[in-house]
Structure 1
Amino acid sequence: MTLTMTRRRAAGTGSARPRRSFVTRRNIPYLLILPALLGFVVFKAYPILAALYISLTTGAGAARHFVGMDNYVRLVNDPLFWTSLWNTAQILIVQVPLMLLLALLLALGLDSAAVKLRGLWRLGVFMPSLTGLVAYGVMFSVILNKNTGLLNWLLDLVGIDPVNWLGSPFWARISIIIALTWHYTGYNAVIYLAGLQSIPKELYEAAMVDGAGAGRRFVSVTIPQLRPILLLTVVLSTIGTLQLFDEPFVLTGGGPDNATLTISLYLYQNGFRYFDFGYAAAIAYALTLIVAGFGILQLKLTGGRR
């Protein structure tokens, strides 16, 4: 009997499978991306889904209750939302083309061999984009001050009456456009400069052999070669302007008379001034749809090519 039990134990021991480790060569790639995946879920996916739920509710804390699409219906019927959208559109229509045109002209100048100390000039052009948003907003609030501002002082030297830059609806929008153009033109100029330097010189030489002048070379060689970069900067600048917040918040606070109230600033006011988080989340999702629309527009313009 003892011999039989010994054999059974031996047989049982021999048939036991070894424990497999979870860390295998096949699983290592998944383990490596796990921290990034967890970070995305915690800091991206969850806030997005939580904001979607909040946009369907009203109240705060334990008093929050589900209201369905009421916040979105309220959004469509809110004249102040449409005012903020129209203000943003006005700034976008003027500022983005002006900024990109200046950036292209600067890039062409900085790419010219006739310019001396090009490295220094390139650094000077790019420096404004390194300035903090709030810092340069405060700087422009001082420059554009009606009574003690530098700009009105310069206008007074040439006999022009002081302009109420931040107190007039029209000039307040112009002030926002000036600040944005100063801050972001150099950034786009550097992008265009990189694109210009990547154009093969043989294309210009072939155009010159065919008798093309400087203007013709610019239209037939430079612009087609820069087309993907031009589209990229147009879309990025448009999306950035749609999310405009810092400049109107620091310079005008959305005034005067809501003349510089943008979508992002209106979102902020509802969320952190009036604590209407449900409505603020609905505005955020409306803004997301608008931005997504411009992303789709980019795909249409580029034909789906990268």
Structure 2
Amino acid sequence: MTVVTETEARAVRRTPPPGRPRRKISRESAAAWILVLPFVLLFLAFTAGPVLGSLGMSFTDIKQRDLRTPFSVNGVGFGNYVKAFEDETFRKAAFNTAYFVVLGVPLTLVVALAAAVLLDRGVKRFQALFKVGYYLPVVTSIVAIAVIWRFVLAPDSGLLNTVLGWVGIDGPNWLASKTWAMPSLIAMAVWRNFGSAMIIFLAGLQGIPQSVEEAGQIDGAGSWQRFRYLILPLLRPTILFTSVTTGIGYLQFFEEPFVMTQGGPLNSTISVSMYTYNQFGFGNYGLATAMAYILFVVIAVITFIQFRLLREK
């Protein structure tokens, strides 16, 4: 004869019959949902909702005049996307953006890595001062940076042309030249943004054990060999992070041409983000959102490629 205790009997009564799921929500789960509910509501209202709404707008002919009667717009399918690719100015903006990214991202990473190595290996005193100095342009207003760079790149009395004149070189009108306007913006972007990547590279370098480099030194490897075959492979996660974040930022570059050149001369510095912004200003909402989603797809594809190429092996 089996004796059932009172505790076992209560456990049997609380156990739901087979086939019926337990519907009772624990206090922890209820508390978690209550705490996360404000974020979910805000996310749906101010992020997911507008994103889905703009995606729907990209398949319509909605313009500024249609805001009062949004349900009277007509669907155009992929017409806005086709129109964007047929737009000569959009193709020019896409080429300018690719030019800016292909040159700007590697230059920014190389300068940032070089500065990080110098701070980690060469500069021991006043290291904090150098960090602040290199990082200061990152948090400085683009308006202040534009004033500085306009003074540097001014055609007649600019600092750069003055220095070039000392060695007999007649410098061009940098920001008004179709040849030199984009390289000038790239130089400004590298100067402005390399401090952020430098801080991350410096953290990655300081996280590598000193014993790794000492082992290479014992094996007879030179300074460059140790850096090339020991340090750089260990920096792959850091390089991946900085290349992805820098690439995403440069693909969306807007402030530099908007403040410095207004997209000129002759659209030689207009970017996809700036041209999309102009289309919104003209009231072509359907076309503008289509351009924005083209840029989104490009960013997603390039980011995926970066993860495939730079992931840890």
TM-score over 0.5 for the alignment? yes
Match of 1:18 in 2: none
Instruction: State the AA in 1 paired with 2:291.
Output: I
For 1:2-81, what aligned pairs fall within 5 Å after superposition? 24-58=27-61, 59=63, 60-61=66-67, 62=69, 64-81=73-90
1:173 correspondence with 2:173? no
**Structure 1 SS opposite 2:175:** coil
Secondary structure of the equivalent of 2:137? helix
Classify 1:205/1:270 alpha carbon distance in 2 versus 1 (closer, same or farther; 3 Å).
Answer: same
Instruction: After TM superposition, give the deviation of residue 144 of structure 1 in Å.
Output: 1.7
For 1:266 and 1:165, the matched residues in 2 are separated by 22
Q: Select the residue among 285, 296, 301 that pairs with 1:288.
A: 296
- What letter is aligned with 1:32? L
Amino acid at match of 1:296: F
Choose which of 216, 234, 238 in structure 2 pairs with 1:229. 238
**Conservation of the 8 A alpha-carbon contact between 1:71 and 1:279:** yes
Task: Give how far 1:25 is off.
Answer: 4.4
Name the amino acid aligned to 2:284: D
In structure 1, distance between residues paired with 2:270 and 2:30: 52
Report how far residue 113 of structure 1 moved: 5.0
**1:213 positional shift:** 1.5
- Please state if 1:101 is matched with 2:110: yes
1:120 to 116, 129, 133: 129
**Which stretch has the larger CA shift, 152-161 or 97-106?**
152-161
Q: Which residue of 1 aligns with 2:223?
A: 214
Q: Which amino acid aligns with 1:29?
A: A
- The aligned residue for residue 246 of structure 1 is 255
1:103-149 per-residue CA deviation (whole Å, 9 max, x = no partner) reads: 11111100025543222122211111111233313432333222333
Cα separation, 1, equivalents of 2:29 and 2:88? 57
What are the Cα deviations for residues 160-209 of structure 1, in whole angstroms up to 9, with x where unaligned? 21321111111101111111011011111111111000001111111111
Does the 8 Å CA contact 2:236/2:310 hold for their aligned counterparts?
no
Judge conservation of contact 1:235–1:295 (CA < 8 Å) in 2.
yes
Distance across 2 between alignment mates of 1:300 and 1:113: 33
Of residues 156-165 and 198-207 in structure 1, the stretch that sits farther from structure 2 once superposed is 156-165
Instruction: Call closer, same or farther: CA 1:215–1:267 in 2, change over 3 Å.
Output: same
Give a deviation string over 1:220-245, Cα, whole Å, max 9, x none.
Answer: 21101111111221222111111010
Say which SS state the counterpart of residue 29 (structure 2) adopts.
Answer: coil
C-alpha change, 1:114 and 1:259, in structure 2 (3 Å) is closer
**Residue 84 (structure 1) aligned to one of 89, 93, 117:** 93
For 1:223 and 1:51, the matched residues in 2 are separated by 42
Contact 1:91–1:177 (CA under 8 A) maintained in structure 2: yes
Q: What does the per-residue CA deviation read over 1:55-107, in whole Å, with 9 as the maximum and x for residues that have no partner?
A: 11223322633222211111122222111111111111112111211111111
Residue 11 of structure 2 aligns with which residue?
none
C-alpha distance in 2 between matches for 1:26 and 1:293: 37
- Cα shift at 1:155: 2.3
- Cα distance between partner residues in 2 of 1:92 and 1:68: 31
Relative distance call for 1:277 and 1:118 in structure 2 (3 A) is same
1:152 to 158, 161, 186: 161
Moved over 4 A (4+): 22-25
Cα distance in structure 2, aligned partners of 1:64 and 1:168: 42
- Establish whether residue 298 from structure 1 lines up as the match of residue 306 from structure 2: yes
| Identical-pair percentage | 38
Shift of residue 30, structure 1, vs aligned partner: 0.3
Q: Contact (CA 8 Å) 2:100, 2:182: kept in 1 or not?
A: yes
In structure 2, C-alpha distance between the alignment counterparts of 1:184 and 1:152, rounded to whole Å: 24
**Contact map agreement 2:96 2:271 (CA 8 A) in 1:** yes
